[in-house]
Amino acid sequence: MHAEGGLDRVIAEIAARQRGAIRHDQLLAAGISRRGIARRLELGRLHRVFRGVYLVGHAVPPALARETCALLACGSRAVLSHRTAAALWGILDRPQVGISITIARRGPHGQPGLRVHRVGRLLAPDVARREGLPVTAPPRTLLDLASVLTVSELADTLERARVLRLVASADVKRAMERNPGRRGAAALRSLLGEQPTMTRSKAERRLLALVARAGLPRPETNVRLHGHEVDALWRSKRLVVEVDGYAFHAHRDAFERDRRRDAELQAAGYRVLRVTWRRIAHEPEALLVTLAQALAACDVRRGG
């Protein structure tokens, strides 16, 4: 029988392999009684995240700890999916609330902070590992997202996946063939057949025409700002608009370089708004509303 300090060392060793997380049954197997678990919860040595899953000594979860806790709560057949998987692949922002899990066949029910999706099967090509965690592969992730995103959101997410070279159209089509009848597949199939046809210069000209038509102030174009060339600049508003798209940014280095540039401009006090060729071509009215709101927000921030 371990002494109290020895038991805590055993707990720490198990949790160290699981990003600080531990399951109730692992605690019992390590020799901690139910009373001992309750006492450690009272003392703040354990923090309950999901039913039967705790963080050891962390009131604030470290990176990917909640995702790890979700997997521990759902068992060995569970994989991270939907928005959670998309965030891990870098094609969506990390969801503010809720971890999405997909489980083949039977599994636990959802609970606060945990969204469980059940499917009949998860085939090997639809599962990958990211940061050491089981997660739906990018093509399957896009197919799952097709059921929860708007068409516009799905189009942007598909574009990011292509920019990061996570998927090709053929990969996504094969995922749909493996998983027929999925909700949202029709919208995704339609997007796969849509390729950018607008060059960067044409997209910029179309943007300027939209701005003029709406009576918005005309920006400077293709000017240097803090060592970077920007597509459109409303200097007095400290607003930068960059025309973005798969046709212009077809590799990871360009994508990451653009994000570093955005961060530098934001640090210099400029708001950076990125617009895609798809929005310019297919959602001009919505884009104009976004631009008008951004220009107005700049005035508010500056007290204008």
- Tell me the domain boundaries of the chain: 4-56, 65-192, 200-301
| Residue 168 DSSP symbol | -
CA 177 – CA 101 distance, rounded (Å): 22
CA 145 – CA 81 distance, rounded (Å): 9
Tell me, what's the pLDDT at 300? Answer: 55
- Contact predicate 187/150, CB 8 Å: no
Tell me, what's the pLDDT at 162? Answer: 84
- Contact predicate 240/273, CB 8 Å: yes
CA 86 – CA 65 distance, rounded (Å): 17
Q: Is 142 exposed, middle or buried (0-12, 13-18, 19+ CB in 10 A)?
A: buried
Which SS3 state, helix, strand or coil, does residue 33 take?
Answer: coil
CA 44 – CA 72 distance, rounded (Å): 20
CATH of 200-301, one of 3.40.50.300, 2.40.50.840, 3.40.190.10, 3.40.960.10: 3.40.960.10
Cα 284 from chain centroid?
26
Q: Is 91 exposed, middle or buried (0-12, 13-18, 19+ CB in 10 A)?
A: buried
Tell me, what's the pLDDT at 142? Answer: 97
Write out the chain's pLDDT in tens, 304 residues.
Answer: 445 667 888 888 888 888 889 999 999 998 888 999 999 998 888 999 999 999 998 777 788 999 999 999 998 889 999 999 999 999 988 876 789 999 987 766 778 889 999 998 899 999 999 999 999 999 999 999 999 998 888 888 888 888 788 998 899 999 999 999 888 898 898 888 765 555 667 788 888 998 998 899 999 998 999 988 898 999 999 999 988 755 455 555 666 778 888 999 999 999 999 888 778 877 888 889 999 999 988 765 555 5
Q: Is 135 exposed, middle or buried (0-12, 13-18, 19+ CB in 10 A)?
A: buried
pTM attached to this predicted model:
0.66
Cα 114 from chain centroid?
16
Tell me, what's the pLDDT at 85? Answer: 96
- Residue of 50, 55, 12, 43 whose CA lies nearest to 30: 12
- Contact predicate 243/198, CB 8 Å: no
- Residue of 193, 283, 270, 188 whose CA lies nearest to 237: 270
DSSP string, 186-251: HHHHHHHT------HHHHHHHHHHHHHHTTPPPPEEEEEETTEEEEEEEGGGTEEEEEE-TTT--S
Q: How many CB atoms lie within 10 A of CB 111?
A: 12
| Long-range contacts of residues 150-158, Cβ cutoff 8 Å, at least 24 apart | 151/187, 151/191, 152/278, 152/279, 152/283, 154/184, 154/187, 154/188, 154/191, 155/191, 155/194, 155/278, 156/276, 156/278, 157/86, 157/91, 157/92, 158/188, 158/191, 158/192
CA 245 – CA 34 distance, rounded (Å): 56
168, two tokens: 């090709």
